[in-house]
Amino acid sequence: MLQKFVTVTFFLILSGCATTASNPPAQGSNKAEGKISMAIGREMGNFKITHSQATEAPAGYNGMQYTVKTDDGATFKCEILEPSGFGKFATWGMASGADAMCTDFTKGSSDVGKTNKASCNALLQAAGKC
């Protein structure tokens, strides 16, 4: 009887860890809004997150993609990577999240398809995406 109790308890603990590690952050969290604000160059409160969805990410990270509409009519899609529960555990809590990487999707904009300069690296520059 004790063995069954221990086994059931063990599986309940594992299932609880699995479900909490894969839950995406709440839409419009202050942390995400702050990163998006820096990436698109708009103050918090001058844009709204209209959609969010989980995206593929490297092992140990959770990826979220946000669709953002600004008060002046611009539209951006932003992606943020944050360490998962496993990623934090595997790195002794030292894993850090990335800044938002946002791409302009505003119709008629001269910057459509370009990534914000704050997230631009040499490869994106060479491809003309900044």
User: What is the reported pTM?
Assistant: 0.63
**What are the b/e assignments for 39-48, b being 16+ CB within 10 Å?**
bbebeeeebe
> Domain for residue 12, yes or no?
no
16 inside domain: no
Environment class of 29 (CB within 10 Å of its CB; exposed 0-12, middle 13-18, buried 19+): middle
3-class DSSP assignment, residue 44: coil
The residues facing 81 across adjacent strands are 63
**Residue 2 resides in a domain:** no
Helical segments of 26-83, H only: 30-40
Confidence of residue 86 (pLDDT cuts 50, 70, 90): confident
Domain annotation covers residue 34: yes
Which pLDDT value is given to residue 14? 44
**Enclosing domain of residue 108:** 25-126
Task: Yes or no: say if 38 and 100 are a contact pair by the CB < 8 Å rule.
Answer: yes
52-56, 76-80, 98-102: the lowest-pLDDT one:
98-102
Is 107 inside a domain boundary? Answer: yes
pLDDT category at 118 given cuts 50, 70, 90 is low
- Is the confidence at residue 112, as pLDDT, over 80? no
Count up the domains in the chain and report the number. 1
